[in-house]
Structure 1
């Protein structure tokens, strides 16, 4: 056997792997780890875990607000979506908040000219934000009505505050962070107060100078305002920290204290981590940060979304550590059901396709060379019951020209559909996902040559409803 099948620390739970040619039968282990990419394309991720147990996710799409609804944090990319039409253009960094029994989306929008970016808000009183009607509540602003993006809401001591990134005047000299008091979730009833402007060398190393993407998390009487600094288009983008005591006057700039060094920056071959949000594991026992990074060094605004757990410092501020090594798996969020992993080299190959060495692959090998029309790799998966499943594949695309590629995915010889892979370069592994219908018993999942070129390190299979179904593969 090759790859992770031999990893003795993984738990086998009665799943059979039957090899051809009369070879020995093995137990297929369930896996409780993943490689921490949760969306292969996107920026400004926002995740909110509601009391209904679902994660609600959104990100910058540019033309609307799209909501994803997922039962598990690691399966967001394959979750069903709801598009909320906002009108306008330049829709940036939307956030979804639940306040006083209703849902609110805050987002930046312009009329095609960046100078006119302002913050707006919509309301939905349905129990589920992906259902019901979204009502436009209008622009949310103070009397200055200056350029504004990246708005978020702080709820503390029964009061609401709006925090955002904006210009001091009408020209893009720098982006500062401002706070204002709110009388309700769609109305600011005070003037804006500046609580941060770029000052340290790591905040002013690119022009214009930037403080943006404010996010708040409260613990032990301490408000931690984590924000993004430096140029979002550079590898220097990072996260800084400003703190305030919950008992202080939050409209007094002196109540907010900025740290002199960033708390989360480029490391382990990942560049420009920024614009994060905070959430918890399924069972609520772990704290997780969700953030974007450049897909490769120098990628600028071409970004992906990753997640990882974090701990707390003694002073009740978040200890984010460093971006997790992209080639070492981390444990699934606590409470998530394990999945079943099938290494690429364990598939059946056709045409010119074959398994080859992979220095950064999970088992040292990968399924590749899907280079001709007759090339494919096929997995035979035995499902205990019929239903919908999530397929998550660790994929790579280094096709010349930098374009996306796809493999043609088919199940049980049915119609094929494109299985998209972002272009990050070979051995720079990402994540591709699909929802597939499996029948009870044996299923054949095939990946064939599509547009461009793609490789597969492994595939993970997980039931949508997270029940621990049994699988086998041969």
Structure 2
């Protein structure tokens, strides 16, 4: 155990194989239901950052309850102890201390001789949010400000917020977002060289990622950068307005640290992808748990909108893309292995195509799906059924279900009419990693649009 570890820097190896559900040009993995048991810390804890110190996980978050930053600890990432003391009781002399509420998104990392905290606060000179530095000998703090001014403060670009850190080859980097949405400007996530302790910048900022998708709204922010063991890079980020359900988490991949970064076709975590059980998921971080399995930690709004609580879920990897345990993962039927059936153009189907004519005893569609960890998962089958019985009346239909070669019963479908797609659900047992899910000819003649695995 090498002391304090920045969460994302211990990300496990990424699988490099072909999964159509997460191809950058196709339907991205979208999670839903990863937090069936609710938040792991049910109090206001937005923009969590997590580090490990000798087996204890320390999480830091945006101001709450009159504190500049909040702090909690855990041994297992599930049971958390909240600490009343403010980890950053004083701000740098450059920052406006009152009114409170302007200290955001702390980032803490091991600097070799202690710990560094990067934090966002209001710069008195420019009246913009900017990034400052504080130091502490221990993760409990208190962190004490250092420097006569902010570390990063591009006032003409709206200031800077949401610092993150990354280290490789002995070089420290700081990621940050210019806060252009504050004042009618565009937003970018930047990468910049810094000293080992993060108190000085040693290079010019490099733009990694901007806003160019409808779901991102007016901004991108909250970067988390991970170097994969194959040498590639994964950049997680949040987008849209933090105050509403549209706030979401996306990601992009690159072969080099400085890019270019290619975004996934759809966000990784959204309110809809969680089926509304988590609202506005974002501010994410990644950490390896005590069992060696990676977790993603993030915030989401409570039902009464009074707090952004802390959530955690298992995280796995397929095709260089993140997969969240319990997440709704969409797989198109036409992209699966189709045997003795027909891919056809289909009105109102996802992607405009579906699989029909599963009419023979050996007709089937087999999906290859990835699970971040073993256990029961929800299977939702999007089907259309226009079958009639012998008298010409609408009739139900079914497909036989096989999981990893094991008979798992059948999925029953009520009559919907052709090209009127609905969902039928069941639960299946998946092993960690890759699995096969096969739907075969059952009663009558239902068609398949897609399956979602949660």
- Indicate whether the TM-score tops 0.5: yes
Query: What SS does the aligned partner of 2:189 have?
Result: strand
Cα distance 1:131–1:170, how it changes in 2: closer, same or farther (>3 A)?
Answer: closer
Q: Which residue of structure 2 lines up, in the alignment, with residue 354 of structure 1? A: none
2:254 paired residue among 244, 260, 271 = 244
Contact 1:264 1:321 in 2 (8 A): no
Q: Which residue of structure 1 lines up, in the alignment, with residue 40 of structure 2? A: 38
Q: How many positions carry a matched residue from both structures?
A: 279
Cα distance 1:132–1:151, how it changes in 2: closer, same or farther (>3 A)?
Answer: closer
| Residues 225-268 of structure 1 deviation map (CA, whole Å, 9 limit, x = unaligned) | 100012212211111112223xx362xxx532222321121223
Provide TM-score, normalisation by structure 2.
Answer: 0.55
What is the alpha-carbon distance in structure 2 between the residues aligned to residue 153 and residue 85 of structure 1?
22
Cα distance 1:116–1:322, how it changes in 2: closer, same or farther (>3 A)?
Answer: farther
Cα distance 1:170–1:312, how it changes in 2: closer, same or farther (>3 A)?
Answer: closer
| Residues 148-178 of structure 1 deviation map (CA, whole Å, 9 limit, x = unaligned) | 1101111122222111111459824333211
Contact 1:180 1:188 in 2 (8 A): yes
2:236 paired residue among 208, 226, 230 = 226
Query: What SS does the aligned partner of 2:244 have?
Result: coil
Cα distance 1:115–1:132, how it changes in 2: closer, same or farther (>3 A)?
Answer: closer
Task: Work out whether 1:102 is the aligned partner of 2:107.
Answer: no
| Residues 39-96 of structure 1 deviation map (CA, whole Å, 9 limit, x = unaligned) | 2122434343424111111111154123323333222244575532133240011121
Task: Work out whether 1:64 is the aligned partner of 2:76.
Answer: no
Q: Which residue of structure 2 lines up, in the alignment, with residue 303 of structure 1? A: 308
| Residues 251-290 of structure 1 deviation map (CA, whole Å, 9 limit, x = unaligned) | xxx532222321121223222111111112223x110011
Task: Work out whether 1:320 is the aligned partner of 2:296.
Answer: no
Distance apart, 1:310 and its partner CA: 1.1
Q: Which residue of structure 2 lines up, in the alignment, with residue 212 of structure 1? A: 221
What is the alpha-carbon distance in structure 2 between the residues aligned to residue 80 and residue 301 of structure 1?
19
What is the alpha-carbon distance in structure 2 between the residues aligned to residue 301 and residue 150 of structure 1?
22
What is the alpha-carbon distance in structure 1 between the residues aligned to residue 181 and residue 248 of structure 2?
25
Provide TM-score, normalisation by structure 1.
Answer: 0.53
Cα distance 1:73–1:114, how it changes in 2: closer, same or farther (>3 A)?
Answer: farther
Bigger relative contact order, structure 1 or 2 (CA pairs below 8 A, ≥6 apart): 2
Distance apart, 1:114 and its partner CA: 9.8
Task: Work out whether 1:193 is the aligned partner of 2:206.
Answer: yes
Contact 1:117 1:148 in 2 (8 A): yes
Q: Which residue of structure 2 lines up, in the alignment, with residue 140 of structure 1? A: 151
The 5 A counterparts of 1:269-284 are 269-270=276-277, 271-283=279-291
Query: What SS does the aligned partner of 2:79 have?
Result: helix
Q: Which residue of structure 1 lines up, in the alignment, with residue 295 of structure 2? A: 288
Superposed CA RMSD: 3.1
What is the alpha-carbon distance in structure 2 between the residues aligned to residue 114 and residue 41 of structure 1?
33
What is the alpha-carbon distance in structure 1 between the residues aligned to residue 215 and residue 36 of structure 2?
32
2:266 paired residue among 261, 277, 289 = 261
Contact 2:131 2:153 in 1 (8 A): no
Cα distance 1:182–1:116, how it changes in 2: closer, same or farther (>3 A)?
Answer: same
Contact 1:200 1:260 in 2 (8 A): no
